[in-house]
Amino acid sequence: MQLITWNVQWCRGVDLAVDAARIVAEAKRLADFDVLCLQEIADNYPDPRLGGNDTSDQFARLAALLPGYTAIPGVAVDQPADDGSRRRFGNMILSRLPVVQVYRYLLPYPFDAGVPGMPRIAVEAIVRTPSGDVRVITTHLEYYSAVQRMAQAEALRAIYAEGHAYARDATVTMNDGGPFQTFVRPRATVITGDCNFEPDSAEYRRILAPFADGTPALVDAWHVVHPGTPHPSTFKIYQKDAPGDPELHCDFIFVGEELRARVRDIRVDQQTQASDHQPVILTLA
């Protein structure tokens, strides 16, 4: 299984052109991907609300550009537009592997006086691979508020642990094809996204911390493949808020212990300028 995670900045490149087709073409150039996890997908946020953008529904546009993939939107922000329609912003998973069950989790948004912020979401798709089902979770954590970001990191841990508990139990409580139908959760888990924290941060350490209930700890897939090697930069390489801004390392792929042995490769493409972030590519056996 090949997976790409990428914050695509509403499909806006360093050249400031907004082009969903370019995002898909670049992703295909990088890998013959089975699963594509995207952050910062917009619907109806025209410039100047999002620079260079128009009113397009990028959730629908990206789905149309990838026929044969199941498109799973995760809307975190849902606001009124001037004409009475809605504006939406969030994340997305596209999978050409069969998708068994989808879960959407609104992340905590605790009050932090005077600090900008917006609602955040984690989207989970259970995908069926030749080696067994895998939970794929993608998210985009808060940029401005450290209080909210840590709360969201804690929530990701809880989401992972909750699903793992269901997987350990594996009880089918209803099998009638209705909305109470049980789909047994897999233990194998991938958590991807733009976390807006650095590898030396408290949030990063918390994501990898042990669990009191015996749930296996998450591991950083980068260090599975590249032990002792620092994370490559994934943000602010080509596009900076101010000249001299440092490059950042905030796009991660974490895996559950059950997947550690199946991690074959992980790499960051630092060449593309189709977004202000760089894509991360994971290969699982």
- Tens digit of pLDDT at every position of the chain (285 positions): 999 999 999 999 999 999 999 999 999 999 999 999 999 999 999 999 999 999 999 999 999 999 999 999 999 999 999 999 999 999 999 999 999 999 999 999 999 999 999 999 999 999 999 999 999 999 999 999 999 999 999 999 999 999 999 999 999 999 999 999 999 999 999 999 999 999 999 999 999 999 999 899 999 999 999 999 999 999 999 999 899 999 999 999 999 999 999 999 999 999 999 999 999 999 999
Cβ contact 195:249 at 8 Å: no
What pLDDT does residue 147 have? 98
125: domain CATH number is 3.60.10.10
Q: Across all residues in the chain, what is the average pLDDT?
A: 97
- Domain span at residue 254 reads 2-284
The confidence score (pLDDT) of residue 69 equals 98
The count of domains in the chain is 1
**Integer CA distances (angstroms), 88 to 8, 11, 121, 140, 255, in order:** 15, 14, 12, 15, 29
Which pLDDT score is estimated for 63? 98
Residue 36 near residue 69 (C-beta atoms within 8 A): yes
Distance CA 180, CA 157 (A): 25
Among candidates 277, 279, 274, which has minimal Cα distance to 17? 274
Q: In sequence order, which residues have a C-beta less than 8 Å from that of residue 180 and are 6 or more positions away?
A: 173, 174
Are the CB atoms for 35 and 127 separated by under 8 Å? yes
Please report, for residues 220, 222, 225, 231, the alpha-carbon distance to residue 228 in angstroms, rounded to integers and kept in the order given: 12, 10, 10, 9
Tokens at residue 153, please? 């990191």
pLDDT tens readout for residues 56-65: 999 999 999 9
